[in-house]
Amino acid sequence: MTETLAQGLSTGAQTLGLQLSPEQQQRLLDYMGLIQKWNKVYNLTALRDPADMLTHHLLDSLTALAPLARYTQGQSMRVLDVGSGGGLPGVVLAICMPELNVTCVDTVAKKAAFVQQVAVSLKLPNLKGLHARVESLTDPYQVICSRAFASLPDFVTWSRSALAEGGVWMAMKGKHPQDEIDALPADVKVFHVEPLTVPGLDVDRCMVWMKPDLLPQS
């Protein structure tokens, strides 16, 4: 089974055009193993089948890598993953983009503790689990991301105090959320929406990029 998962991950990464080192691929598989191990205690995901976890969690989160890498251009940035749960996509980003400093915030203490456990187990000094409400955060992050977290208006409103000057929001969504985009606050602008294809999954996915739009003084 482990070999099948490793092959599935390797093939999926290649399909996405990702250059992942053997060490990074092993860490991703180890991370999935930790989710399975702790799931009974922490209730991290409803999925129990490792093959489903591979496609719905790992490969789904890996679709964020190329768009994010195009944005960061290899620079070190602070990334906040909101409503991260068991660390998706935050842990995946921390493993595959070591130049990023990733904080996974969740209101559920057990889930934040699990991410801390992952950081220690997989020796990821650039990963942190934080138990807090995102509205209470004021440390600045250049990228604030979420995956299937909340509506876009709620996501930007709740996390705004943590957005660095010049920072962006990156929301991983299902099908193109036009209704949510239309409901965004007037001073938040969508500057890019890109379709994402998850290897092995026939589903609609997209990434919505947003930033504060400084309205001219009337």
Q: Are 93 and 66 in contact (CB under 8 A)?
A: no
**Tens-digit pLDDT profile for residues 77-95:** 999 999 988 999 999 999 9
**Model pLDDT, residue 53:** 82
The single-letter DSSP state of residue 139 is S
List the beta bridge partners of residue 141: 163
Q: At what angle do helices 22-42 and 109-121 cross, to 10 degrees?
A: 150
pTM of the model: 0.95
Give domain limits for the chain: 63-212
Q: Does 215 have pLDDT greater than 70?
A: no
* Mean pLDDT in residue range 150-162: 97
How high is the pLDDT of residue 73? 96
Alpha helices by DSSP H, listed for the chain, are: 2-15, 22-42, 50-53, 60-62, 65-72, 90-96, 109-121, 152-159, 178-182
CA distance 75 to 130: 23
Condensed to tens digits (0 to 9), the pLDDT of residues 32-85 reads: 999 888 887 777 777 777 777 888 889 999 999 999 999 999 999 999 999 988
What superfamily in CATH does domain 63-212 come from?
Vaccinia Virus protein VP39 (3.40.50.150)
CB atoms within 10 A of CB 191: 10
The region of weakest confidence among 23-37, 88-102, 204-218 is 204-218
> In the predicted model, what is the mean pLDDT of the chain?
93
Does residue 121 register a pLDDT over 80?
Answer: yes
pLDDT of amino acid 218 = 47
216 — pLDDT class (breaks 50, 70, 90): low
